[in-house]
Chains A and B, each alone.
Chain A
């Protein structure tokens, strides 16, 4: 059964730092991998989608990569800002639906 692990569970950084969030999955036979952001009490906002034929995606200060052979994905956030404070969720699809990690809660201080 597919399991997704996110490390670290929580992260606190000062404004301006570059940071990396990690995601690993047990089944390398995934189709897509998607990174989401969740603010407290809110739904999920899609950040980046890496489809099966791709290895990375970029959007603004965000870059996500996928290495199927090692079962790992990383989300890189450049020049972090207080507005980046949220929980970041990684989700992989190996079957019909997405399987989620428990998330990394990021706090960026000004």
Chain B
């Protein structure tokens, strides 16, 4: 079945540590996105990529980094510069067809907790 796989489901980070969240899709979608979700808030865009080896900052990119070396993969690194990383992280993908998207597909999320 086609879809988006995020791993791990739960992740614990110590202060000052970098951690990487995995996102893989087999939908052959061009674009991939990372969102952050906090209680009582909507999803906020961290980074997005429309093509391999290119990505753009979203609204809250500070303290995060990404790479897009393969069409299927878009890992997110939460660096020690992110002062409040505890949140639910969601990866999404979409097909680009002239008009920007043809609907988004989301993964099941990674819950990151600072310990």
A interface list, Cβ under 8 A from B: 4, 31-32, 34, 36, 41-46, 49, 51-52, 89, 91, 93, 95-103
Contacts and interface: CB of A to CB of B under 8 A. Distances in A.
Contacts of A95: 100
B56 interface: yes
B67 to A, nearest CB: 18
Contact of A100 (B43, B48, B88, B101): B43
Interface of B: 6, 33, 35, 40-43, 45, 48, 50, 56, 58, 88, 90, 92, 99-109, 111
B106 A31 contact: no
Contacts of A91: 43, 104
Contacts of B104: 34, 44, 46, 91, 98
Contact of B106 (A36, A41, A97, A102): A36
Contacts of A45: 106
A91 B103 CA distance: 10
The 8 A-B pairs with the shortest beta carbon distances in the complex, nearest first, are: A100-B42, A44-B106, A43-B108, A49-B103, A100-B43, A102-B42, A43-B106, A43-B109
Given A31-B99, A52-B99, A102-B42, A97 B108 contact: no
Contacts of B58: 97
